[in-house]
């Protein structure tokens, strides 16, 4: 413990507030306390902590405090600080999507039914949230199919009627823009829409049935079939909202379950007595927290400004500081919010249903984690045994060479960390010293440059007191994969010997997918179902893809620049501008003179010269081919 840290601990006040634990200037944990002196001292003076807390304390080299007047302010400030800093050791809700709502503003003269992402306190009626926009669009389709309400966004002026659109002609709109319906009659129709959106589909189905029967009696079977399809659409939408509560209110049900180092939270959404969905949230690194802490942190982050809390929240365990939390949520809602942990009755059945759902979600997630582990960590462990490695290959780098008859040669370096692609670490190398299609020499150049860059950067970072593995090349691989056979492998080994490093290396020959090892004549053939084989195939294919994609871009740029070099009046500045505007030779060839004029610094006369030069070249080439 540093002297500065000890001095801060000894001078902590006996006041409520929040504390921000820091490591290297970065906030790694935010907490609140009724008494900052007692709470913060516990971290550094207590001998027993959970593994997560102990790991956090070991990294703390400084902390800040913010004083507040009471418990409510501390809870709100803690939530805001967590959102701001996103500390590593706090419970973080990563799901930031905005759930869709249906909005109807009855204050408007001729209201519409719209899909929105954020409910606002604007006096309009909101239905939802729904778990996906698809469900909302299905609901809107049914509404517009049954009720002839307007779908346009044009401003309606009763004093200036306009010609109605096609929706009026086919009976899907009452024509308010043409002055064909009064506000009173339109609002009467909208009241029926609100009843339907609220879950009362009886009148709608009854009216559709009556229309279908009437059409049948008139022998208008095509019209009757339309009403039949509308009835089916209503039933399909309403079946997705299972009725589970007789109270008819809006409720959320929250339960939590620990799963290894993480915590799961199950949320059931009930609106108008109908369950509109159930979802599972994963809170990473929250497994050491108590269920009460998990529920409290989740509610503070989930019920933000864009997710309105319902009037009644049912929980499996009562969250910490439930009264204070209820006061915060009530303020966000603009009305009273009750948090309760039911013991019996219908509400208890809802909690038990949520418990059943979270158990099923945990089982599925465990299977997914096992499958993911077998494809990543498990595959690396298998590869470690196959190659007889002394260390676990956490970082593997794959290399490939791409060229066209030796022109525009490019080397690619792709990286896997713990069995997953590390895209930010991908690099490419333009071959500088090799002429012609020599993959062996190109591979040696790429490995030599990469390792020299890494060693130099590593020494510079160590000398500067920085993390030696934090640079662009300074983190060296645990294992190297070369795309190719024995020749490419030997070239890569020669590069390592020249630089003076020794890193485990092998190659994967594509013909029969055989593993080629240094100083070992016989290659290794893995079972085609092997996870280790699948992993190195993915890495090899990614190295090939990355090299090919960059080589194509260089080839296209070279073709464009070389053709422009032959045109008089096109210097380096204009050439760069043309290349930036069109990017490919094909795009420039298809452009007209006027389109070429759109390029900065290109006049009409220059554009005509460019057009003539390119198309005359094409005509001459075509004529030559015909003569031959």
Q: Average of pLDDT values for 87-97? A: 72
Burial of 595 (0-12, 13-18, 19+ CB in 10 A): middle
Q: Which residue has the higher pLDDT, 564 or 95?
A: 564
Q: 280: part of which helix (H) or strand (E)?
A: strand 274-283
| Integer Cα distance of 588 and 565 in angstroms | 14
| Tokens, residue 498 | 């020249």
Counted residue by residue, the chain has a size of 628
pLDDT for residue 248: 55
Burial of 94 (0-12, 13-18, 19+ CB in 10 A): exposed
| Tokens, residue 88 | 């590593």
pLDDT digits (tens, 9 = 90+) for 165-203: 888 888 888 889 988 889 899 999 998 888 888 777 778
Domain with CATH 3.40.1440.10 in the chain: 3-85
Question: 10 Å Cβ neighbour count for 414?
Answer: 27
pLDDT for residue 132: 65
Whether domain 251-373 has CATH 3.40.50.970:
no
| Integer Cα distance of 310 and 253 in angstroms | 10
pLDDT for residue 118: 74
| Integer Cα distance of 262 and 265 in angstroms | 10
We find that the CATH architecture of domain 384-553 is 2-Layer Sandwich (3.30)
Task: Please spell the DSSP secondary structure of 404-431, one letter per residue.
Answer: ETTEEEEEEEEEEETTEE-GGG-EEEE-
| Integer Cα distance of 12 and 203 in angstroms | 67
The structure's pTM equals 0.56
Average pLDDT, the chain: 83
Cα–Cα–Cα angle for 257, 262, 266, rounded to 5 degrees:
40
pLDDT for residue 382: 92
Task: Please spell the DSSP secondary structure of 6-72, one letter per residue.
Answer: HHHHHT--SS-EEEEEEETTEEEEEEEESSHHHHHHHHHH-S---HHHHHHHHH--EEEEEE-SSHH
Q: Which of 435, 540, 428 is nearest to 485 (CA)?
A: 540
Burial of 187 (0-12, 13-18, 19+ CB in 10 A): middle
Strands 427-430 and 407-417, by their bridges, are antiparallel
What is the phi/psi pair of residue 215, to 5°? Answer: -65, -35
CATH number of 566-627: 1.10.150.20
Cis peptide before 308 (omega within 30 of 0): no
Domain with CATH 3.30.420.10 in the chain: 251-373
For residue 425, pLDDT over 60 is answered with yes
pLDDT for residue 79: 79
For residue 386, pLDDT over 70 is answered with yes
pLDDT digits (tens, 9 = 90+) for 15-59: 888 899 998 888 999 988 888 888 898 888 877 788 888 888 888
User: pLDDT band at 627, cuts 50/70/90?
Assistant: very low
3-85 falls under which CATH superfamily?
A: GIY-YIG endonuclease (3.40.1440.10)
pLDDT for residue 489: 93
Q: How far is CA 142 from CA 70, 130, 169, 191, 235, in A?
A: 51, 16, 19, 16, 10
User: pLDDT band at 626, cuts 50/70/90?
Assistant: very low
Domain with CATH 3.30.420.340 in the chain: 384-553
pLDDT digits (tens, 9 = 90+) for 107-144: 888 999 888 877 777 778 887 666 567 767 777 877 88
pLDDT for residue 628: 34
State the Cα torsion 453-456-457-458 to the nearest 10°: 120
Domain with CATH 1.10.150.20 in the chain: 566-627
Q: What percent of the chain has pLDDT over 70?
A: 88
For residue 82, pLDDT over 80 is answered with yes
């Amino acid at each position: 413990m540093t002297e500065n840290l000890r001095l801060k601990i000894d001078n902590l006040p006996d006041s409520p507030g929040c504390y921000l634990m820091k490591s290297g200037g970065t906030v790694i944990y935010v907490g609140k306390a009724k008494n900052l002196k007692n709470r913060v001292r516990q971290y550094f003076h207590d001998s027993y902590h959970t593994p997560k807390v102990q790991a956090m304390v070991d990294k703390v080299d400084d902390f800040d405090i913010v004083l507040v007047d009471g418990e409510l302010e501390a809870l709100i400030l803690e939530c805001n600080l967590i959102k701001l800093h996103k500390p590593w050791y706090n419970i973080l809700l990563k799901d930031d999507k905005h759930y869709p709502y249906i909005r109807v503003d009855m204050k408007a003269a001729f209201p519409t039914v719209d899909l929105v992402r954020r409910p606002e306190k604007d006096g309009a009626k909101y239905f939802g949230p729904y778990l996906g926009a698809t469900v909302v669009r299905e609901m809107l389709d049914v509404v517009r199919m049954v009720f002839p309400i307007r779908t346009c966004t044009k401003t309606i002026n009763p004093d200036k009627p306009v010609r109605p659109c096609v929706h009026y002609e086919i009976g899907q709109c009452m024509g308010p823009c043409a002055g064909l319906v009064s506000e009173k009659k339109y609002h009467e129709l909208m009241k029926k829409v609100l009843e339907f959106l609220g879950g009362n589909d009886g009148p709608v189905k009854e009216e559709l049935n009556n229309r279908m029967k009437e059409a049948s009696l008139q022998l208008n079977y095509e019209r009757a079939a339309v009403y039949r399809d509308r009835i089916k659409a209503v039933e399909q939408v309403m079946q997705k909202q299972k009725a589970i509560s007789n109270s008819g209110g809006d409720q959320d049900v929250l339960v939590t379950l620990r799963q290894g180092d993480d915590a799961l939270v199950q949320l059931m959404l009930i609106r108008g007595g109908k369950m509109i969905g159930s979802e599972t949230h994963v809170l990473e690194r929250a497994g050491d927290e108590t269920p009460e802490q998990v529920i409290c942190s989740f509610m503070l982050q989930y019920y933000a400004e864009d997710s309105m809390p319902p009037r009644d929240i049912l929980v499996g365990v009562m969250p910490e500081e439930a009264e204070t939390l209820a006061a915060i949520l009530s303020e966000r809602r603009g009305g009273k919010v009750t948090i309760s942990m039911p013991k019996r009755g219908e509400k208890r059945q809802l909690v038990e249903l949520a418990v059943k759902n979270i158990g099923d979600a945990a089982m599925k997630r465990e299977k997914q984690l096992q499958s993911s582990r077998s494809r990543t960590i498990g595959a690396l462990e298998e590869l470690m045994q196959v190659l007889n490695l002394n260390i676990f290959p956490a970082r593997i780098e794959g290399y490939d060479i791409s060229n066209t008859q030796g022109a525009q040669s490019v080397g690619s370096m792709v990286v896997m960390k713990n069995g997953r692609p590390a895209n930010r670490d991908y690099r490419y190398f333009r071959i500088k010293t090799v002429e012609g299609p020599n993959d062996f020499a190109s591979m040696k150049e790429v490995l030599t440059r990469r390792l020299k860059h890494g060693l130099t950067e590593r020494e510079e970072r160590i000398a500067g007191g920085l993390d030696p593995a934090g640079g662009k090349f300074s983190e060296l691989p645990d294992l190297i994969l070369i795309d190719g056979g024995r020749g490419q492998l030997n070239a890569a080994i020669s590069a390592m010997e020249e630089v003076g490093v020794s890193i485990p290396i092998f190659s994967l020959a594509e013909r029969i997918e055989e593993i080629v090892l240094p100083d070992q004549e016989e290659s290794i053939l893995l079972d085609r179902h092997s996870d280790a084989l699948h992993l190195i195939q993915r890495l090899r294919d990614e190295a090939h893809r990355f090299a090919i994609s960059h080589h194509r871009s260089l080839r296209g740029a070279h073709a464009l620049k070389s053709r422009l070099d032959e045109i008089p009046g096109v210097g380096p500045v204009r050439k760069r501008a043309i290349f930036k505007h069109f990017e490919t030779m094909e795009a420039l060839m298809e452009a007209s003179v006027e389109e070429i004029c759109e390029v900065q610094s290109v006049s009409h006369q220059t554009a005509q010269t460019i057009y003539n030069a390119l198309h005359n070249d094409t005509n001459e080439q075509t004529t030559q081919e015909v003569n031959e």
